[in-house]
């Protein structure tokens, strides 16, 4: 676990220099000559280096076009890569590969990433004593609700490609403290509301891009080189092991994970189109529908069935639905269109229109972005470093108004105290019921989803019941978010 902060100074250097927030994937993207997308997908005689560097280049290029709604540019790119190719392609590379176990693994990992953030955010939220830190509580609550929205939308993507998602089994539970299932160098845990926990949340939500458009200042505050080919032997690098290995070595932010995952989904859709039509797709319209999107539409969770505040829930029945889901998840997490704002500005509370990373920075620095003068940080293009602190109107924070919960408690910590032990078990049972309601919904019983809101209210009461009781001379008890033992 990262060291406790001293004098409430944000570990800005540590965050920016960590492998998690460093934009190495983007920096290493090949901008010169690269193997064609067709060769990347079908040529079994390319070497591992060519495959890896080609994957960096094409995943970045394709993702930038589609997730930024540049359909015309994508069509031009696709035609340049496939060039009207119609003759039979040998069954090499990705052709004939069963995509289902690969997407099941990678999408379930995305669910785990989203799930892993929810208990830490809820723990910090519930630890704030009633009647204090109202604005900070609103910000943390809004992010936690949106992370649950993200988890549900990933389930929509899984159902769209006819793979049953799972959110409530023991193997789907995060175990704290933990590292996110990516190439990160810090631990995420269950901690009380503090500068340390908020700085961890900032690191979790770190944007991919190192700069962002600076908010407009209003004085009055208002509410590569060529590749050497290895042709000595035939290789197939399109395996789950290699695809995951690429992500572990090259993915450092949640946004980057979704970028590469999106590329994989598009790749499998390209293969499905080819195997049906015996030609490669030339535009987005050909690629959008059918193919791997064979799921039951009745299992999609739709906006009218979701009662969370903030963000949009997108059903998925084609590639365009995946684009909307990933735009929503990335925009809410790290900002959209190089701005500090998410893709769906909320009107519910101050700070909620910002991406998660910037909402947490407001809490940490005890100031809003609105009304701040960022001209000293801006370059000639109007961009500022994402680490630039908010300097707008104050956001009052009382860091002492939180229960002194033991970090990362376990139910075993309460075995000598029967009252705490039973309360801890009751909390975990309620959290399991919340996940059960979501699981039932994504299995086609959307009427069960509203129960998750009811369980959310019960969780808060049970968490406070634990946090308000001393565990030892230093700490109070707290929720453990463990899978129920019985």
What average pLDDT does the structure give for the chain?
84
Write out pLDDT tens, residues 132-176. 999 999 999 999 998 999 999 999 999 999 999 999 999 999 999
pLDDT of 460 reads: 95
Write out pLDDT tens, residues 440-475. 999 999 999 988 888 988 999 999 999 999 999 999
The tokens of 165 are what? 């998602």
Write out pLDDT tens, residues 369-394. 988 999 899 998 889 998 999 999 99
pLDDT of 115 reads: 96
Better-scored residue on pLDDT, 15 or 180 = 180
Q: What is the dihedral of CA 323, 324, 328, 329, to 10 degrees?
A: -40
Measured between alpha carbons, how far is 71 from 77 in angstroms, rounded to an integer? 10
Q: In terms of C-beta density within 10 A (0-12 exposed, 13-18 middle, 19 or more buried), how is residue 332 classed?
A: buried
Quick check: 407 pLDDT over 50? yes
Query: Hey, what domains does the chain have and what are their CATH numbers?
Result: 12-402 (1.20.1260.10), 409-486 (no CATH)
Lowest mean pLDDT among 149-163, 180-194, 305-319: 305-319
Write out pLDDT tens, residues 97-131. 789 999 999 999 999 999 999 999 999 999 999 99
pLDDT of 245 reads: 93
Residue range 388-406: average pLDDT?
96
pLDDT of 230 reads: 38
Query: How does residue 207 score in pLDDT terms, banded at 50, 70 and 90?
Result: confident
Pairing of strands 211-213, 383-385: antiparallel
Query: How does residue 320 score in pLDDT terms, banded at 50, 70 and 90?
Result: very high
Residue range 319-333: average pLDDT?
90
Residue range 267-275: average pLDDT?
93
Stated pTM of the model: 0.86
Q: What is the 3-state secondary structure (H, E, C) of the chain?
A: CCCCCCCCCCCHHHHHHCCCCCCHHHHCCCCCCCCCHHHHHHCCCCCHHHHHHHHHHHHHHHHHHHHCCCHHHHHHHHHHHHCCCCCCCCCCCCCCCCCHHHHHHHHHHHHHHHHHHHHHHHHHHHHECCCCCHHHHHHHHHHHHHHHHHHHHHHHHHHHCCCCCCCCCHHHCCCCCECCCCCCCCCECCCCCCHHHHHHHHHHCCCCCCEEECCCCCCCCCCCCCCCCCCCCCCCCCCHHHHHHHHHHHCCCHHHHHHHHHHHHHHHHHHHHHHHHCCCCCCHHHHHCCCCCCCCHHHCCCHHHCCCCCCCCCCCCCHHHHHHHHHHHHHHHHCCCCCCECCCCCCCCCCCCECHHHHHHHHHHCECCCCCCCHHHCCCCCEEECCCCCCCCECCCCCCCECCECCCCCHHHHCCCHHHHHHHHHHHHHHHHHHHHHHHHHCCCHHHCHHHHHHHHHHHHHHHHHHCCECCCCCECCCCCCCCCC
Residue written as token pair 């968490």:
463
**72 alpha-carbon distance from chain centroid:** 27
CA quadruple 159, 163, 166, 171: dihedral sign: negative
């Amino acid at each position: 676990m990262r060291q406790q902060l001293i004098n409430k100074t944000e570990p800005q250097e540590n965050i920016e220099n960590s492998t998690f927030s460093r934009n190495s994937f983007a920096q290493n993207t090949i901008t010169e000559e690269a193997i064609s997308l067709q060769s990347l997908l079908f040529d079994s005689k390319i070497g591992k280096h060519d495959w890896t560097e080609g994957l960096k280049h094409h995943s970045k290029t394709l993702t930038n076009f589609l997730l930024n709604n540049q359909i015309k540019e994508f069509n031009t790119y696709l035609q340049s890569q496939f060039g009207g190719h119609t003759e039979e392609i040998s069954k090499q590379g990705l052709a004939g590969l069963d995509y289902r176990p690969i997407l099941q693994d990678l999408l379930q990992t995305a669910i785990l990433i989203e799930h892993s953030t929810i208990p830490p955010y809820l723990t910090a939220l519930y630890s704030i004593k009633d009647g204090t830190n109202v604005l900070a509580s609103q910000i943390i609550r809004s992010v936690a609700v949106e992370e649950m929205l993200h988890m549900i939308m990933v389930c929509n993507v899984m159902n769209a490609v006819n793979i049953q998602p799972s959110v409530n089994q023991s193997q789907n539970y995060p175990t704290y403290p933990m590292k996110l299932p990516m190439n990160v160098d810090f631990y995420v845990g269950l901690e009380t509301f503090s500068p340390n926990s908020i700085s961890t949340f900032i690191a979790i939500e770190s944007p991919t891009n190192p700069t962002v458009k600076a908010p407009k200042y209003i004085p009055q505050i208002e509410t590569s080189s060529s590749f050497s080919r290895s042709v000595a032997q035939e290789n197939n690098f399109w395996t789950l092991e290699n695809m995951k290995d690429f992500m572990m070595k090259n993915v450092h932010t949640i946004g980057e994970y979704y970028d590469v995952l999106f590329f994989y989904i598009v790749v499998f859709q390209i293969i499905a189109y080819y195997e049906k039509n015996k030609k490669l797709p030339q535009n987005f319209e050909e690629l959008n529908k059918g193919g791997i999107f064979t799921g039951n539409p009745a299992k999609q969770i739709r906006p009218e069935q979701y009662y969370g505040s903030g963000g949009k829930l997108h059903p998925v029945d084609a590639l365009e639905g995946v684009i909307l889901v990933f735009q929503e998840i990335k925009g809410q997490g790290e900002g959209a269109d190089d701005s500090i704002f998410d893709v769906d500005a909320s009107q519910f509370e101050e700070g909620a229109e910002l991406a998660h990373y910037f909402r947490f920075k407001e809490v940490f620095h005890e100031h809003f972005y609105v009304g701040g003068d960022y001209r000293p940080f801006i370059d000639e293009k109007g961009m500022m470093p994402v680490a630039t602190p908010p300097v707008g109107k104050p956001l009052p924070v009382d860091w002492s108004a939180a229960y002194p919960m033991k970090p990362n408690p376990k139910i075993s910590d309460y075995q000598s105290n029967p009252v705490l032990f039973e309360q801890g078990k009751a909390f975990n049972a309620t959290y399991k019921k919340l996940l059960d309601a979501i699981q039932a919904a994504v299995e086609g019983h959307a009427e069960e989803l509203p129960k998750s809101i009811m369980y959310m209210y019960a969780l808060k009461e049970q968490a406070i019941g634990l946090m308000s009781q001393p565990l030892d001379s230093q700490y109070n008890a707290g929720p453990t978010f463990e899978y129920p033992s019985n």
